Structure 1
Amino acid sequence: MKRILLVLVGCLPLVAYCQLQVADRVKQKAKQRAERHVDNAIDKSMDKAEEEISNEVKKQPSTDKDVSQPAQKNSQPAQAGGGGLKSYSRYDFIPGERIVFATDFTGDAIGELPVNWTTDNRGETVSVENRKGQWLRLFPNSRFASPAVQKLPENFTLEADILIAYNGGEGYVYPEVEIKLLDLLPGKERLNSYVINQDASNEVSLALAPGGTGSPIKVLLKSFAKGSSYFNNQPKELNAVIGKNGVSFHLAVWVQKERIRYWINQDKIFDIPQAVPSEARFNHIGFSVESSLYTDDQLGIYVTNLKVAEGTPDVRNKLITEGRMETNGILFDVASDWIKPESAGVLKEIASVLKSNPSLSIRIIGHTDTDGDAAANLELSKKRSAAVKNTLSTDFGIEPNRMQTDGLGETRPVSENKTSEGKAKNRRVEFVRL
């Protein structure tokens, strides 16, 4: 009996410690939600005051056509890629050169959770009105984990397209959305344990805290090592608001050992030298959405075009020394030769090599996957290579006579076209020294 009592007494400090850890995270979350609720209340009060002032001004006869009106909040959604390549002139994100995971949820059944994804609640593959492709819809009070990715090295990149559409007007706090890099122990049991207990070995999370329709989104970064807080910064406002049609943006992440950088559209929002736990070896992508008093019809959180790639492309060495390079980092709209603005970092790097080597001439060759008609893909690949040439000339000042173009369609695959990763690898642009 004495031994049992001694064991129980010895366990008490451990139990107390675990309770304190949980309590700290609960207090931190409660504090953040309370601050957001106060911010929302202040915004609503200010909106009401501005509306009253505006109404008073409108009632008064104007004797001057230039009488100032109260500033109106921008209710138009920020568009992913809006503004073209010139608005991305300072964008320096370059995706990794070897794709290890990619999905756009094409082929997953509408209304079902994507194959091999895990959740503790609910998620669905959906199509979104006026948006291309298929998306994973994330429902409130849910955690999600991707299929296992190979243990990622110290240097890798992540990209995703995200759409948030909220239309609740009752004054409740909108749910926080987190995009996570996860280091989980292998096995389905550990995967299920994570979505239920949130017990990753290591975790880095970008949290998006919407302020409501017409208000800026706030963003913060936090990381955990073996269940304990490792890094946590202060929220900052994004140059994006949730309009009537929602807000969509391209997220890019670059990890280099303990350093991590984040871009949302053309803006670099974080560059933190020691936010990643030193022992982390990430192998899953995760998402979580807070619970909410709003109904599912009032909340829409969607994600697509996930891509993870490892390594850093050495554009200069490949073009000058090896005489050839390929990239999956020049992105196009589906079945189109329109270059997405998030391609700016790669194009800028190629232009830099060409400018510093004025005698260098290149052939630009487009490649596609096997989706669609072979003849159409061949023509599309030619148009895409021509679009790259035109962009390098028009936006980066490279002489057109130094560039030739060609397209090979789907005839030279570098991977099988049976998986999302394989198709993503085959959609590429090749540069060959002449």
Structure 2
Amino acid sequence: MKKMIILLGLLPSLAAWSQSDLPGRFKNKVKARAEQRVDEGMDKAIDKTEEEITKKPKAKNKKNGEVEETETGDQGGKKAGDTGNSTDKDLKVYSRFDFVPGERLLFAEDFSQDVVGEFPLKWFTNNQGEVVSLGGQNGQWMRMFPGGHYVSPGLRKLSENYTIEFDLLLHYKSDEGYPFPNVYFKLMELPAGKDAMKDYFFALAGSKEVVLNIGPAMEESSYAYLTSSVNESEQFASAEKKLPRLDRFFSKPIHVAVWVQKQRLRLWINDEKIFDIPQVVPVQSNFNHLAYKVESSIYEEHQIGMYVTNVKIAEGAPDTRSKLLTEGKFSTTGIRFDVNSATIKPESSGVLAEIAKVLNENPAVKVKIIGHTDSDGDAAKNLELSRRRAQSVKTTLAQHFKIDASRMETDGLGETKPVADNSSGEGKSQNRRVEFIKQ
């Protein structure tokens, strides 16, 4: 990391002061000292924030004789202050969030398989990058640097109906007032059979892409700009929308969710629906890579940070009504929890609202809510965790969505009923699920 020396000022020689200027200079000196004390206080506060963002969690988890430096997935046990019946206040903030993630998980990346301090093994870049742990945040993140392009491994073939999600964290520590670099998210169709980065920079004419440009601003309105193109010269569609000042999102995750249905694209940032455009995805697209790009910046590396994690792509939003009422069973990975906790994440609101709607429209239906975990950590603790998560879902449906608690019973099966291989990120994500069984 580069270091920056800030020259605060030079004190003029006392010998150069004239007698007539002493009152004015005395006044200026008092003002300057007061401002210096304020600056010192601000610097201490900023330094503390920087330490929290960059330090690694101290907790370690032993498994198979190895020591993992960060906590990922489901690892059993109970966090301090976690009652197991959490109805997370942030769910109220996401009350308008009607995004429902797809049913079949195609791609999941939380960088838990990668070594902290190294670049993610399966990704590609033209720049530097590294996997990091962030103080106060769960799991591991990929740090991106200004001027960098970051391309995912190849994706499975996507259908006409799929969802994409990821968490983005922006870190800012400077009072210099320079613009924060724009961050781009790209859904791309690259020629098959070549190196991904070579394809990315030298894509053949006719390659298609959809690009989200997030322009965070500290002093003025931020914006989101969505473009779609079918080749280098032909733009298919574009849209722009001003956002609330994103400075309130700095140093805490921004959840981005995308829902594609044929040519229609809907996009949310946290609970706000930013775009709903009926014709923005190029016809007959065959997207096979995700990519992130960060604009160049004159800031030093330690002054800003851009991080991404929890990338998920899933195919086809589930038909909650049909599965629960007709098939008698509905399983979802869309109800998310904090790591090692029964606290429900706010982005689960859309799925919970769909379930509540079905139950409210069918008051005679009773359900059993069953929690499941992946196999990370102790089996007995995972069993306890799955039961607390099921209870948390019941409490949330009762308190937030007014479902009669007597219509719901709960249970947890821990890691005992996997639906996918726990050796991969995608498999673990599929196993962390909640089932609703019609009684």
Q: TM-score, normalised by structure 2?
A: 0.77
Distance in 2, Cα, partners of 1:245 & 1:285 = 23
| Secondary structure, aligned partner of 1:205 | strand
Alignment partner, residue 399 of structure 1: 404
Alignment partner, residue 384 of structure 1: 389
Distance in 2, Cα, partners of 1:427 & 1:298 = 36
Distance in 1, Cα, partners of 2:203 & 2:248 = 32
Q: How does 1:280-319 map to 2 (within 5 A)?
A: 280-319=285-324
Distance in 1, Cα, partners of 2:249 & 2:283 = 42
Contact 2:88 2:345 in 1 (8 A): no
Does residue 138 (structure 1) correspond to residue 183 (structure 2)? The answer is: no
Does residue 206 (structure 1) correspond to residue 226 (structure 2)? The answer is: no
Q: Tell me the CA shift for residue 136 of structure 1.
A: 0.4
Aligned equivalent of 1:85, options 91, 114, 125: 91
Alignment partner, residue 256 of structure 1: 261
Q: Tell me the CA shift for residue 247 of structure 1.
A: 4.5
Alignment partner, residue 187 of structure 1: 193
| Secondary structure, aligned partner of 2:357 | helix
Contact 1:120 1:196 in 2 (8 A): no
1:372-392 residue CA offsets vs partner (Å, 9 max, x unmatched): 110000000000000000011
Distance in 2, Cα, partners of 1:148 & 1:244 = 31
Distance in 2, Cα, partners of 1:310 & 1:285 = 15
Alignment partner, residue 127 of structure 2: 121
Q: Tell me the CA shift for residue 427 of structure 1.
A: 0.1
Letter in 1 for 2:141: W
Q: How does 1:24-35 map to 2 (within 5 A)?
A: none
| Secondary structure, aligned partner of 1:286 | strand
Distance in 2, Cα, partners of 1:235 & 1:411 = 47
Distance in 1, Cα, partners of 2:275 & 2:333 = 24
With over 3 angstroms needed to count, the CA separation of the structure-2 counterparts of 1:247 and 1:260, relative to structure 1, is: same
Distance in 1, Cα, partners of 2:256 & 2:328 = 32
1:329-359 residue CA offsets vs partner (Å, 9 max, x unmatched): 0000001000011101111111111111111
Structure 2: which 5+ runs fail to align?
1-45, 50-86
1:191-215 residue CA offsets vs partner (Å, 9 max, x unmatched): 122343466811101101122x354
With over 3 angstroms needed to count, the CA separation of the structure-2 counterparts of 1:198 and 1:300, relative to structure 1, is: farther
Range 199-208 or range 366-375, more displaced: 199-208
1:243-278 residue CA offsets vs partner (Å, 9 max, x unmatched): 595352111000001110100111000001111111
Distance in 1, Cα, partners of 2:275 & 2:142 = 26
With over 3 angstroms needed to count, the CA separation of the structure-2 counterparts of 1:298 and 1:233, relative to structure 1, is: same
Q: Tell me the CA shift for residue 237 of structure 1.
A: 2.2
Q: Percent identity?
A: 50
Q: Tell me the CA shift for residue 129 of structure 1.
A: 2.0
Contact 1:113 1:123 in 2 (8 A): yes
With over 3 angstroms needed to count, the CA separation of the structure-2 counterparts of 1:427 and 1:340, relative to structure 1, is: same
Distance in 1, Cα, partners of 2:192 & 2:136 = 39
Aligned equivalent of 1:242, options 238, 247, 257: 247
Range 335-344 or range 240-249, more displaced: 240-249
1:213-263 residue CA offsets vs partner (Å, 9 max, x unmatched): 354421110111122342454532222422595352111000001110100
Contact 1:240 1:247 in 2 (8 A): no
Aligned equivalent of 2:153, options 132, 144, 147: 147
Alignment partner, residue 273 of structure 2: 268
Q: Greater RCO between the two (CA within 8 Å, min separation 6)?
A: 2
Contact 2:227 2:239 in 1 (8 A): no
Alignment partner, residue 348 of structure 2: 343
Letter in 1 for 2:213: A
Number of equivalences:
355
With over 3 angstroms needed to count, the CA separation of the structure-2 counterparts of 1:287 and 1:100, relative to structure 1, is: same
1:142-171 residue CA offsets vs partner (Å, 9 max, x unmatched): 111101111111110001011011223334
Distance in 2, Cα, partners of 1:400 & 1:83 = 19
Distance in 2, Cα, partners of 1:415 & 1:281 = 26
Alignment partner, residue 372 of structure 2: 367
Contact 1:389 1:405 in 2 (8 A): yes
Distance in 2, Cα, partners of 1:115 & 1:339 = 30
Distance in 1, Cα, partners of 2:118 & 2:241 = 35
Letter in 1 for 2:266: R
| Secondary structure, aligned partner of 1:432 | strand
Distance in 2, Cα, partners of 1:117 & 1:182 = 15
| Secondary structure, aligned partner of 1:352 | helix
Range 178-187 or range 163-172, more displaced: 163-172
Distance in 2, Cα, partners of 1:142 & 1:214 = 25
Distance in 1, Cα, partners of 2:229 & 2:262 = 15
Regions of 4+ moved over 4 Å: none
Contact 2:379 2:415 in 1 (8 A): yes
Distance in 2, Cα, partners of 1:403 & 1:244 = 36
Q: How does 1:49-128 map to 2 (within 5 A)?
A: 84-128=90-134
RMSD: 2.1
Structure 1: which 5+ runs fail to align?
1-74
Q: TM-score, normalised by structure 1?
A: 0.78
Letter in 2 for 1:351: A
Larger % of helix: which? 1
With over 3 angstroms needed to count, the CA separation of the structure-2 counterparts of 1:97 and 1:114, relative to structure 1, is: same
Q: How does 1:7-46 map to 2 (within 5 A)?
A: none
Q: Tell me the CA shift for residue 113 of structure 1.
A: 1.4
Alignment partner, residue 324 of structure 1: 329
Alignment partner, residue 48 of structure 1: none
Contact 1:143 1:195 in 2 (8 A): no
| Secondary structure, aligned partner of 2:406 | helix
Contact 1:181 1:286 in 2 (8 A): yes
Range 278-287 or range 261-270, more displaced: 278-287
Distance in 1, Cα, partners of 2:188 & 2:326 = 37
Distance in 2, Cα, partners of 1:244 & 1:214 = 13
Letter in 2 for 1:368: T
Distance in 1, Cα, partners of 2:239 & 2:173 = 27
